[in-house]
Amino acid sequence: MSIATTVAEKAQSMIPIDLQIRGAHVYDKTRRIVTRTDGQKIFTETPIPPVDEVDLAEIDLSNPFLYRQGMWRSYFERVRNEAPVHFRSESPFGPFWSVTRHADIIAVDKNHEAFSAEPFIIIGRPPRFMDIAMFIAMDPPRHDKQRAAVQGVVAPKNLREMEGLIRARVREVLDGLPLNEPFDWVQTVSIELTARMLATLLDFPYEKRHKLVEWSDLATSMEQANGGPSDNDKVFREMVAMAQGLSSLWRDKAARTVAGEEPGFDLITMLQSNEDTKNLLDDRPMEFLGNLVLLIVGGNDTTRNSMSGGVLALNEYPEQFEKLKANPDLIPNAVSEIIRWQTPLAYMRRVAKKDVMLGGQFIRKGDKVVMWYASGNRDERVFERPDELIIDRANARNHIAFGFGVHRCMGNRLAELQLRILWEELLPRFDNIEVVGEPEYVQSNFVRGISKMMVRLTPKG
């Protein structure tokens, strides 16, 4: 670590995080006034033309409307076949490379010596000072140390402890669902269950759990992720509320431990009982915030959209739904296949640390390289009939939705556990979960999300 970084961290530790964020807000507002970029629209929605009408070099895979308009599949198929390592010179996010084949994505993701996760993992640049340091966007050895401090929260022993609680919460939600009448699955089931899970992971006050979802949604509502426009004032205000909320969670837990409360299996307890991180909030407040936000964001959109995506996919492939009902032993494999099919995070971005050849292309040091998991998971070289959901697909577990290498998703076992329990509890309760009407999709090139999906449940006859 450089002396400048050490000095910056020392200075940061002396200013409360909410004040740091307020300062960042003032800076951001001033910059936007000076540069006249308030509420910036990075992309404007226009109908996406069929892919064969577009020049290969003109294809911009960062356009969020490719996803929202359901055109992404044909675009990626063409790029995978004709220019698997594709250069876009003029995107609103600047020039970037797209890596679209399964094997090439793994090669990049595993090679952190050549491809850095720093400073961000999205294509665009987050607002200045909002680029909170998180270990998902750090290289070893810094990354490894920070990941080690928190990964106990999803260790197998902890997951075993949590399983009963997750199941009880899933049952409670499912038993309260309306029958034979339409309701929004996303809001009532996917968001609700994810919020409950996050509250458990952080030992966050249960009745305030929806705050965690709101805070997580902030990160993905920034224009750099959704293509704009975004309400940055709101983003900053909520960031302050989040910093305050998480700081008081930390202090409250410390006070309860001093008062003799039994240690739990939550993230805060874990950090407070580790020598290196026990004073994290006071010593390195931005790192504290970064680690917590990463878990909140990492565990939110992803699991939520796999819960919604599974229902949608099984509606599109009803014979697979019948197969699952007839053989619930297929649930674990179906969970992997659903995650492959949905791929809740479309990509992670890297920056080349040196000149490197990839797929016959010369990538220069400093170039942005985007690994499109959404494309790799539909690569016909690896998955037969890749656009279809096939719940007993032999190689479903070869999906790359959790990434690869040092950054491979820390919460992958937890996500699989949640989804397995959901389907184990759904199948005996309902004969059918019918999607009624067209689902609505999130505007984003990063989160492959469903924002609304009306369904009707038929109880077991």
Which residues touch 271 (CB under 8 Å, ≥6 apart)? 149, 150, 277, 278, 280, 291
**Cβ distance to ligand HEM smaller for residue 51 or 331:** 331
Using the minimum distance from each CB to ligand HEM, give the nearer residue, 182 or 405: 405
Q: How far is the CB of 165 from ligand HEM (least distance, A)?
A: 15
Taking the CB of residue 33, how many other CB atoms lie within 10 A of it?
10
Six-digit token string for 171: 């049952």
Q: Give the closest residue to 174 by CA, choosing from 415, 430, 437, 454.
A: 430
Residues lying near ligand HEM in the complex (CB under 6 A): 109, 135-136, 147, 154, 294-295, 298-299, 302-303, 306, 339, 344-345, 348, 373, 401-405, 407-411, 414-415
Minimum CB–partner distance for residue 138 and ligand HEM (Å):
8
Least spacing, CB of residue 211 vs ligand HEM, in Å: 17
For residue 306, give the nearest of 202, 404, 417 by alpha carbon. Answer: 417
Is beta strand 368-372 parallel, antiparallel or unpaired with respect to 450-452?
unpaired
Q: Encoding tokens for residue 170?
A: 């899933």
Q: Which is nearer to ligand HEM, 345 or 457 (CB)?
A: 345
Can you give the length of the chain in residues?
A: 461
Closest CA to 108 of 384, 347, 387, 298: 347
Strand duo 368-372 + 96-99: pairing? parallel
Give strand ranges (E) for 176-242: 183-184
Q: Whole-number minimum distance, CB 160 to ligand HEM, in Å?
A: 15
- Could you identify the residue written with the tokens 């939600």? 173
| CA pair distance 74, 66, nearest whole angstrom | 10
Nearer to ligand HEM among residue 235 and residue 415 (C-beta): 415
Least distance CB 121 / ligand HEM (angstroms): 7
- Amino acid at residue number 367: D
What one-character-per-residue DSSP string does 304-334 give?
HHHHHHHHHHHHHSHHHHHHHHH-GGGHHHH
Residue 115's SS3 state is strand
- Nearer to ligand HEM by Cβ, of 348 and 391: the residue is 348
* Residue 242 contacts residue 58 (beta carbons within 8 Å): no
Kindly state the smallest distance separating residue 236's Cβ from ligand HEM, in Å: 24
Q: What token pair was written down for 16?
A: 């409360």
Cβ nearer to ligand HEM, comparing 228 with 386: 386
Q: Is 184 helix (H, G, I), strand (E, B) or coil?
A: strand
Residue type, 321: F
Which lies closer to ligand HEM via its Cβ, residue 212 or residue 435? Answer: 212
Query: In angstroms, what is the minimal distance from the CB of 26 to ligand HEM?
Result: 30
- CB 170 to ligand HEM: min, Å: 15
| Strands (E) located in 273-402 | 347-352, 356-358, 361-363, 368-372
Q: How far is the CB of 296 from ligand HEM (least distance, A)?
A: 8
Closer of 185 and 236 to ligand HEM (Cβ)? 185
Q: Which is nearer to ligand HEM, 414 or 442 (CB)?
A: 414
